[in-house]
Amino acid sequence: MDYLWLKALHIVAVVTWIGGMLVVAVTITAASGGRAQQETAMHSAVLAAVRRWDQRVTSPAMILVWILGIALALTGSWFPQGWLLAKLVSVLLLSVLHGGLSGRLRGLSRNQQPSPPPPLRYAAAAVVVATFVIVILVVTKPI
Amino acid sequence: MSSAEQIEDLLQLRKMRLVSLVEGTTLLLIVGVAVPLKYLAGFPLATRLIGPVHGVAFVLYVWMLIQTVSMGGWSRAETARMVLAAFIPFGAFLNERALARRQSALAASG
């Protein structure tokens, strides 16, 4: 496939994935507070909608990010370069965080574990910081 | 656990077994076929084809493992073993058996 098409589709998948992860991260923080626990009807409807979006849109977008990203890296023959390796590690950590958020969301929708473990409380901030690092790495290619 | 939740958990374990097998098989193909072809026969196409497939399968496996573990019911030792085995040739097949045992235990408890 043409490089520009690969790049465009990769960016679409990234935006969809990062946006979806932020929705899950914020929902988990909101649904875990003491007050939110009392508003159960709205709580479960919102959790179900976010979970559906995560399963049907955000998770497939993550897989597409990986497939298109690897295809792009092969097309550009960038493999041993430092910026790409650093970017790969950052995206792997984001994928791990997404797995944690997804599992947590499922636990919450089953009314388990009332408050999020400390690391997930900062998940939204971590997603923004990782996105910042990844974009700087890929645009400026500093190493 | 409601029956819908049990069905969902069984499906998750079944998907993980499949991804684990793909991850393990592609790792064996890289180590046993693609790398010897590249360095002994000067044929690099095999690593270029299988490498990316293994990469995607590995990420999917780690992602699904973290997702499953985050739901609770897994000890730290079990989780560590499932992660470590993914790096070792044939380890994924041990993981697949462990997941199959978990799946049978869950099905029997329903």
Rounded distance between C-alpha atoms, residue B49 and residue A63, angstroms: 17
A116 within 8 A of A104, measured Cβ to Cβ = yes
Please count the CA atoms within 13 angstroms of the CA of A24 that sit on its side-chain side.
31
Q: What is the pTM of this model?
A: 0.83
User: With an 8 Å Cβ cutoff, is B35 touching chain A?
Assistant: no
Rounded Cα gap, residues B83 and B77, in angstroms: 10
Q: B67 contacts in A (CB within 8 Å)?
A: 99-100, 102-103, 106
B56–A106: do the CB atoms touch at under 8 Å? no
- What's the pLDDT tens digit per position in B23-82? 999 999 999 998 888 888 888 888 888 888 998 898 888 888 888 887 777 888 888 888
Q: Is the Cβ of B10 closer than 8 Å to some Cβ of chain A?
A: no
Closest CA–CA distance from residue A101 to any residue of chain B (Å) = 7
Contacting residues of B for A99, CB less than 8 Å apart: 62-67, 70
Contact pairs from chain A to chain B, CB under 8 Å: 54
A33: DSSP letter: S
User: Which among A66, A96, A113 has CB closest to B66?
Assistant: A96
How far lies A5's CA from each of A8, A10, A11, B93, in Å? 5, 8, 10, 38
Higher-confidence position of A111 and A26: A26
The SS3 call for residue A104 is: helix
Per residue in A32-82, pLDDT (tens digit) is: 766 555 666 667 888 889 999 999 999 999 999 999 998 998 888 887 789
Encode pLDDT of A113-130 as tens digits: 556 666 788 999 999 999
- The answer to whether B110 and B24 have CB atoms below 8 angstroms apart is no
10 Å Cβ neighbour count for A100?
A: 23
Q: What is the pLDDT of residue A113?
A: 56
